[in-house]
Chain A
């Protein structure tokens, strides 16, 4: 009980509060803040109410004294979907961080991913922005760690799940979900018999944070606690870039997939055993 009272939920925080909670006290400085009203030009004309920051908060500051840029997605606005503006804000922040590094300023990046992926109302513009984000992560991660955090409750899907996969390190909670397609999309394609999107324990057993961590697709598994997430992100930032990013280990994963017997129904445990390999 006291444990419950001492914990501060990270999941319940909005995007701006999350960025603030991770940065050293007093260092939060927002770029393209909501009062500049750089909003989606596409939503209003489709009858959808826009948000002043387009659901993306970009903040500069420091974590344990290290220069950091944070991109936090607001999952409560349009499911954290990325359109032209929000996507460009993230891509631009990452590109500037890489520029910083080329000029000798060691800016790192933290992405707080709470997103269903591309915003359907903005179609190709959102997709192009997500591709820019992918390229920018790959560029920056050669200099400094890019840390992805999927806390929940939206999770991280679509093109942004690829962005999560490109990060130097990925941090997840039990509430997190990570997958290329969201449950409802899979149900629609594969049928209710195969994949019931309303069966929450089933969904989390396949795409939840615990499963993703135990399958080696995430690097840290943390409680929904501000202090623990802050400490974990700090430690990863201090650790520097990994010897080899996960996305450079395609041969390893392909060999594993080729070894899979797809005849019996694949269970969560099958995935863990398949991907874990020599990982302790």
Chain B
């Protein structure tokens, strides 16, 4: 198990917060909460060791398309593939927009 930290430039914080997913096999839990303007902080606790670079690349790919809102994101990962991680993040971004 490893704990990793990432920081990315971001826009304004949203009003709402959201929780998506579950720490089940091949899945992950994502908690999204409003952060400080301009910064996106991500903490990842993952069952898979040595994957820091893979997370870094995945986040870069997602955030280069759209500037993300300013959030503190906590991820509890139980061996999710990059595709599942991306889907869960997009689901989370959509849900914070709803409340």
Residue ranges of A at the interface with B (Cβ–Cβ < 8 Å): 14, 34-35, 44, 47-52, 55, 74, 76-78
A48 to B1, CA, bound (A): 7
- A115 CB, min distance to chain B CBs, angstroms: 14
The answer to whether A77 touches B23, judged by C-beta atoms less than 8 angstroms apart, is: yes
Known: A49-B47, A50-B76. A76 touches B24 (CB 8 A): yes
Given A47-B1, A51-B76, A52-B31, 9 further pairs, Cβ under 8 A? A34-B19, A34-B31, A35-B33, A44-B1, A44-B45, A48-B1, A50-B23, A51-B29, A76-B24
A222 → B minimal CB distance (Å) = 24
How many of chain B's residues have a CB under 8 angstroms from any CB in A? 18
Cα distance, A268 to B86, chains bound together (Å): 47
Beta-carbon contacts under 8 Å, B32-47 to A: 33, 45-47
Shortest C-beta distance, B9 to chain A (Å), equals 25
A to B CB contacts below 8 Å, 28 in the list: A14-B22, A34-B31, A35-B19, A35-B31, A35-B33, A44-B1, A44-B45, A47-B1, A47-B47, A48-B47, A49-B1, A49-B23, A49-B45, A49-B46, A49-B76, A50-B45, A51-B23, A52-B29, A52-B31, A52-B74, A52-B76, A55-B23, A74-B22, A74-B24, A76-B22, A76-B23, A76-B25, A77-B23
Q: Which residues of A contact B31 (CB under 8 A)?
A: 34-35, 52
Residues of B near any A CB (own CB < 8 A): 1, 17, 19, 22-25, 27, 29, 31, 33, 45-47, 74, 76-78
Interchain nearest-CB distance for A6 vs B (Å): 26
Nearest residue, chain A, Cβ from B30: A52
Which residues does chain A contribute within 8 Å of B78, judged by CB atoms? 49
Are B22 and A51 touching (Cβ within 8 A)?
A: yes
| 9 residue pairs, one from A and one from B, having the closest CB atoms | A76-B24, A51-B23, A47-B1, A76-B22, A77-B23, A49-B47, A49-B76, A34-B19, A49-B45
CA distance in complex: A73, B6 (Å): 31
Q: Please give, as numbers and ranges, the residues of chain B lying within 8 Å of A77 by CB-CB distance.
A: 22-24
Q: How many Å from the CB of A167 to the closest CB on chain B?
A: 25
- Across the interface, which residues of A come within 8 angstroms of B29, CB to CB? 51-52
In the complex, what residue of chain B is closest to A79 when comparing beta carbons?
B24
CA distance A243 to B31 in the complex (A): 45
Distance in Å from the Cβ of B94 to the closest Cβ of chain A?
17
Across the two chains, which residue of chain A brings its CB closest to B22? A76
CA distance A78 to B78 in the complex (A): 10
Question: In the complex, what residue of chain B is closest to A54 when comparing beta carbons?
Answer: B23
Provide the bound-state CA to CA distance between A50 and B25, in Å. 13
- Nearest to A55 among chain B residues (CB) is B23
- Measured between alpha carbons, how far is A34 from B22 in the docked complex, in Å? 11
Q: State the Cβ distance, A76 to closest chain B Cβ, in Å.
A: 3
Q: What is the CA–CA distance of A77 and B22 in the complex, to the nearest angstrom?
A: 7
Q: Which residue of A lies closest to B19 (CB)?
A: A34
Instruction: Enumerate chain B residues within 8 angstroms of A50, measured Cβ to Cβ.
Output: 23, 45, 76
Q: Which residues of B contact A55 (CB under 8 A)?
A: 23
Question: Which of A48, A77, A78 has the most chain B CB within a 10 Å cutoff?
Answer: A77
Contact partners of A49 in chain B: CB under 8 A = 1, 23, 45-47, 76-78
CB-CB under 8 A from A48, the residues of chain B are: 1, 47
Which residue of chain B lies nearest to A76 when distances are taken between CB atoms in the complex?
A: B24
Determine the residue in chain B with the shortest Cβ distance to A45.
B1
Contact call A76/B77, Cβ cutoff below 8 A: no
For A34, list chain B residues within 8 Å (CB).
Answer: 19, 31
Query: Which of B1, B27, B46 is packed against the most chain A CB atoms within 10 Å?
Result: B1
